[in-house]
Structure formats: structure tokens, C-alpha cells
């Protein structure tokens, strides 16, 4: 796939995802897009031992047909994710960010202000301070972190132990 084709696919995915967010915010559609479980793993205080376990818990929570699994990042970000054995869809990027936060190496705390809609005073931030939403700035920061720590990934997986001890 050419870079232009990939960029177009990413743009279409982003537009679809944006539409999904708008639709999801309307009361009539809340039941349609509501995840299966009550709370995601990170809001339950669960700390998976591996990224693959976190990805599995997230897919179980959101459902396999969640539209976030079709929203891809840009070419350079996707290339970096593929190099470490991961998909570059929005939900995988979000779960990686949450996993890093659960391992006390979060990239996007509310105080960093990389998400204009996330404040240190938000109730969910007090429970779990990860404000990743996939902005261009956040994706570049995630890309840089993936490149710096690529050696910690083993066949698309990452251990909490390695993140705590070696992630930089």
C-alpha cells in the first residue's frame, strides 16, 4: 500500500471514529456503543502482568467489533507499532498507554496538558490518570517512546516488570 493510500485510509478511519464519538455522545445511541462490562480493567485497579493480557481484557470490555479497532494512526506510527509486533489501531494505542500508566510510566497525565479535554480535577483522572485520546502531539510522543523502548517488546508483548524496571 502506498503512503498516499495509507494516509487516505487513516483519514477515513479518523473521520469514522470522530463520527462515532459524536454519535456515542447522544443519549439515544449510548446503549449501542456501551462496552460490555461495567468498568475497564484499569479502573478496577487490575494490573496485568503483560501488555497482551491488558489487550485481551480491553477487547473483552469493548467488544471485538468496537470501531476503535479500525482507526489507524499515520504511517510512521504504524510502522513503529508493526516493528514491535503490535497493531496501530486506536484501541491498541490506548491500551498501551493505559498499560504504561498502570506500570507507573504513563506518558499522558492530566498535568501534561496533551489532552485539552482532560483536567487534573476530573473524577476519572483521580482514579486513573491517563489522558490519551490520540492527538497528533500524543501520537508523536507515543512513537518516540516506542522507538526508544523497542527492545523491550517480545513478539508484540511487553511485561509490566520490564516496563517498571527498564522503560525510559
Q: What is the pLDDT of residue 131?
A: 96
Please state whether 134 falls in left (phi above 0), alpha (psi between -120 and 50) or beta: left
Q: What is the pLDDT along the chain (168 residues), one digit of tens a residue?
A: 555 544 444 443 443 444 334 333 333 333 344 455 588 999 988 899 999 999 999 999 999 999 999 999 999 999 999 999 999 999 999 999 999 999 999 999 999 999 999 999 998 898 899 999 999 999 999 999 999 999 999 999 999 999 999 999
Domain ranges of the chain: 44-106+136-166
pLDDT at residue 37 in the model: 54
* pLDDT value for 152: 98
Q: Are 103 and 163 in contact (CB under 8 A)?
A: yes
DSSP 158: -
pTM of the entire predicted model: 0.78
> What is the model's pLDDT at position 2?
53
Give me 48's grid cell. Answer: 496485568
Cell of 40: 475497564
Q: What is the pLDDT of residue 29?
A: 31
The reported pLDDT for the residue numbered 38 is 82
What is the pLDDT, as a whole number, of residue 72? 96
Q: Report the pLDDT value the prediction gives residue 35, as an integer from 0 to 100.
A: 52
Say what the pLDDT of residue 103 is: 97
Residue 18 CB contacts under 8 Å (≥ 6 apart), including other chains: none
Amino acid at each position: 500500500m502506498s503512503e498516499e493510500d495509507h494516509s487516505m485510509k487513516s483519514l477515513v478511519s479518523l473521520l469514522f471514529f470522530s463520527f462515532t464519538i459524536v454519535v456515542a455522545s447522544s443519549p439515544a445511541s449510548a446503549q449501542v456503543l456501551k462496552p460490555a462490562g461495567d468498568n475497564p480493567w484499569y479502573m478496577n485497579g487490575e494490573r496485568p502482568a503483560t501488555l497482551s493480557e491488558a489487550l485481551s481484557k480491553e477487547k473483552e470490555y469493548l467488544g471485538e467489533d468496537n470501531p476503535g479497532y479500525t482507526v489507524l494512526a499515520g504511517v510512521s506510527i504504524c510502522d513503529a507499532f508493526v516493528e514491535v509486533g503490535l497493531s496501530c489501531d486506536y484501541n491498541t494505542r490506548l491500551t498501551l498507554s493505559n498499560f504504561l500508566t498502570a506500570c507507573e510510566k504513563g506518558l499522558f497525565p492530566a498535568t501534561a496538558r496533551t489532552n485539552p479535554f482532560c483536567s487534573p480535577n476530573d473524577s476519572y483522572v483521580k482514579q486513573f490518570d491517563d489522558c490519551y485520546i490520540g492527538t497528533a502531539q500524543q501520537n508523536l510522543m507515543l512513537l518516540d517512546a516506542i522507538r526508544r523502548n523497542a527492545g523491550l517488546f517480545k513478539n508484540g508483548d511487553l511485561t509490566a516488570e520490564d516496563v517498571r524496571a527498564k522503560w525510559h
